[in-house]
Amino acid sequence: MVSAYALFTHPFPTPSFFDSPFPYPLPPTAHISHSLLSTFHNHQWSSLPTLAKTPRPDPNPLLTQLGFRPNLQCSSSPITADIGTVFSLLQAVGIDDKEAKVLLNKNPVLSFTSLDCLRARIECFNSVGLDGLVLSNLITKCPNLLTAEEIGPFLSFVRHDLAGKIEPGQLRKLFRAADVRFLVGFDEKVGLLLRRGVSDEKIVDVLNKVNLYKALCLKSVEDIDTTITFLNRFGGIDLIVRRPSLLNYDLETQLAPRVEFLTEVSGGDENATGVLLGKLPAILSYTVDHTKGHVELLRSFAGLSDEQIFKILLVFPNVVSASRERKMRPRIKFLKECGLSSNDIYKFLIKAPLFLGLSFEDNLAYKLVFLVKIGYRYRTRDMAAAIGSATRTSSDNLQRVIELFLSYGFSCADIVVMSRRHPQILQYSHGALEKKMEYLINEMGREIGELLAFPAFLGYKLDDRIKARYEVKRKILGEGMSLNKLLTVSSESFTPKTPAYVIDLNVE
Q: Over the stretch 165-221, which tens digit does the pLDDT of each residue have?
A: 999 999 999 999 888 899 999 999 999 999 999 999 999 999 999 999 999 999 999
What is the three-class DSSP state of 284?
helix
> What confidence score (pLDDT) does residue 479 get?
60
Rg for the chain (alpha carbons), in Å?
35
Listed residue (69, 83, 93) closest to 8, CA to CA: 93
> What confidence score (pLDDT) does residue 113 get?
81
> What confidence score (pLDDT) does residue 207 get?
97
Beta carbons within 8 Å of 450's beta carbon, 6+ residues apart: 440, 457, 483
Listed residue (422, 343, 436, 356) closest to 389, CA to CA: 422
Alpha-carbon distance 411 to 427, whole Å? 18
What the chain holds in terms of domains, given with CATH numbers, is 1-181 (no CATH), 185-278 (no CATH), 401-508 (1.25.70.10)
Length of the chain: 508
Q: What is the number of other CB atoms lying within 10 angstroms of the CB of residue 405?
A: 23
C-alpha separations of 159 from 12, 120, 121, 164, 181 in Å:
18, 14, 13, 4, 19
The stretches in the chain having pLDDT less than 50 are 1-81, 498-508
> What confidence score (pLDDT) does residue 2 get?
35
> What confidence score (pLDDT) does residue 109 get?
84
> What confidence score (pLDDT) does residue 36 get?
27
Listed residue (133, 86, 130, 135) closest to 108, CA to CA: 86
> What confidence score (pLDDT) does residue 295 get?
98
Alpha-carbon distance 5 to 111, whole Å? 21
> What confidence score (pLDDT) does residue 478 get?
56
The residue type of 182 is F
What is the three-class DSSP state of 25?
coil
> What confidence score (pLDDT) does residue 94 get?
86
Q: How far is CA 463 from the centre of its chain?
A: 38
